[in-house]
Structure 1
Amino acid sequence: MLDGKHALVTGGGTGIGLAIARALADAGAQVTITGRRESVLEEVSGGGITYVVMDVTDEESVQDGVAAAVANSGPVQICVPNAGIAEGRALHKTDTEFWRRIMATNLDGAFWTVRESLGSMRKTEWGRVIAVSSIAGLKGLKGAAAYTASKHGMIGLIRGLSEDYLGTPFTFNAVCPGYVDTEIVTRNAKAIAERAGISRGEAREMMVGANKHGRLIAPEEVAAAVLWLCGPGSDSVNGQAIEIAGGQF
């Protein structure tokens, strides 16, 4: 389905990003994954997946990384800004350093990645930008105002771009997962447990219960939605924030 297409997936060495990269590669795309830890990227590369070491919080690193990916595999036609961090903190305890770290990774990184990818995508006749936001991009997440703001910002970026490119062969969408079964959930369970004075098991059950269908989402479920947005018949899906959370919010 995606033979001859070059896909760029940030944060592609683990979790949701890796599931997306593998799904795109299985569909025939040449996939470039990015991340800061070369050992992690190297371990999962192969089978249509190559890697570039890139830090999405550093504009120059993104510029150089995307340029290297284009030099190696051609124009980026599928751009998936996925790299992000999910950390909560009450706003009265949020200092500027914490705020900027969340925004630099989740929002600035997405902006730079999409901007640099569009440079080559616009020279082609087909393209997809699919941002991995969060259900927190559509609703407020208690105790995580900075994270919520960053994920709302991603959706705003996508919706603005979809208007800019109406009538072109390029579409811009976001997927918005609830709690996904990745290492992030494990780390957050520890943090929630420490803040709330409960066990890690209880903290994990709180996240499971936040998904409408009462279970964690598999990374492959998010990847399937991304693959659909790249597939036949998706041309009229544009500027959307698609919930993957087991029900309506």
Structure 2
Amino acid sequence: MARRVLVTGGGSGIGRAVARDFAATGDAVTICGRNAEALAETDGGRGMTCRVADISDEAQVGALFDRPYDVVVANAGAGNAAKLADTTLEDWNRTLAVTLTGVFLTFRAALPLMGPGGRLIAIGSTASLQGGSNIAAYAAAKHGVLGLVRSVAKEVAKKGITCNAVCPGFVDTPMAARAAEGLMSRLGVAREEAVAMLCSNNPVNRLITPEEVASSVLYLASPGAAMVNGHALTVSGGEL
């Protein structure tokens, strides 16, 4: 029987790879995001349901759950590189609203309709487990995501539901491209050097592919991961 899967931030990057992998297994996939054209591109005729929604908006998130889901992947997130002294309150609030509050709203709305065997999966980051220069707001939000995951895992365990996080390093996504462009602008380096700097903490010395992250998500959603709960699964080539 096909599972019902919701992937937030499904218009590009990790969310796109996750949604396509679930669809390839025959699951009934719903994707949401703020850009209808990007969602349609992710679908590409795969039969997904596309819903336009801002996951930092409580009412819009609530409207997504007009049906139950067996697997909910809270992937949507945002963040820009900036020194703490240059981070405005608006930047801080926007980063937390999408990256942390969005996961809270998504999981909170999912749980009343989710039965035994359900899977809640958040896309964290290596920044969920360590700090970094010029990413104070993003790291704070991603640390919060992991704290949320570990707490929810304790609450739902006896219901037969699991809650976990996948924590990748730099992934070859539009967010990484923007980070590289920021380095190019600030330091006056070529794109190849900027990408190498992003990968410098990864012993494999390359960007992670979205598909590699998606494989970890599908594992956590599988029956074989029923006893994996409250876990931060790092996909970072040995960075952590």
Shorter-chain TM-score above 0.5 = yes
Equivalent residue letter for 1:182: T
| Contact 2:202 2:239 (8 Å CA) reproduced | no
Q: Do residues 100 (structure 1) and 90 (structure 2) align? A: no
Q: Do residues 202 (structure 1) and 193 (structure 2) align? A: yes
Q: Which moved more, 1:50-59 or 1:171-180?
A: 50-59
| Contact 2:70 2:117 (8 Å CA) reproduced | yes
Aligned with residue 225 of structure 2, among 213, 231, 234: 234
Q: Do residues 191 (structure 1) and 191 (structure 2) align? A: no
Structure 1 residue 50: Cα displacement: 1.3
Aligned to 2:24: 26
SS state at 2:208 partner = coil
Q: Do residues 4 (structure 1) and 2 (structure 2) align? A: yes
Aligned to 2:71: 78
- Unmatched 5+ residue regions in structure 2? none
String of CA shifts for 1:76-134, please: whole Å, max 9, x gaps.
1101000011311111111110000100010011111111111211xx23200110010
Structure 1 residue 53: Cα displacement: 0.4
Aligned to 1:15: 13
Matches within 5 A, 1:7-156: 7-45=5-43, 46-67=45-66, 70=67, 75-121=68-114, 124-156=115-147
Distance in 2, matches of 1:190 and 1:120, equals: 42
Aligned CA distance change for structure 1 residues 90 and 248 (closer, same or farther; 3 Å): closer
String of CA shifts for 1:50-94, please: whole Å, max 9, x gaps.
110000121111112333xx2xxxx11101000011311111111
| Contact 1:78 1:127 (8 Å CA) reproduced | yes
Root-mean-square deviation over aligned CA pairs: 1.3
| Contact 1:34 1:51 (8 Å CA) reproduced | yes
Equivalent residue letter for 2:211: E
Distance in 2, matches of 1:207 and 1:48, equals: 36
- Unmatched 5+ residue regions in structure 1? none
SS state at 1:80 partner = strand
Aligned with residue 179 of structure 1, among 166, 170, 182: 170
Moved over 6 A (4+): none
Structure 1 residue 248: Cα displacement: 4.5
SS state at 1:211 partner = coil
Q: How many residues align?
A: 239
Structure 1 residue 166: Cα displacement: 2.3
Q: Do residues 223 (structure 1) and 197 (structure 2) align? A: no
Distance in 2, matches of 1:196 and 1:103, equals: 27
SS state at 2:213 partner = helix
Equivalent residue letter for 1:65: L
| Contact 1:103 1:150 (8 Å CA) reproduced | yes
Percent identical pairs in the alignment equals: 43
Q: Which moved more, 1:199-208 or 1:22-31?
A: 199-208
SS state at 1:131 partner = strand
Tell me the TM-score normalised to structure 1 length: 0.92
Equivalent residue letter for 1:211: N
Distance in 1, matches of 2:176 and 2:220, equals: 26
| Contact 2:169 2:235 (8 Å CA) reproduced | yes
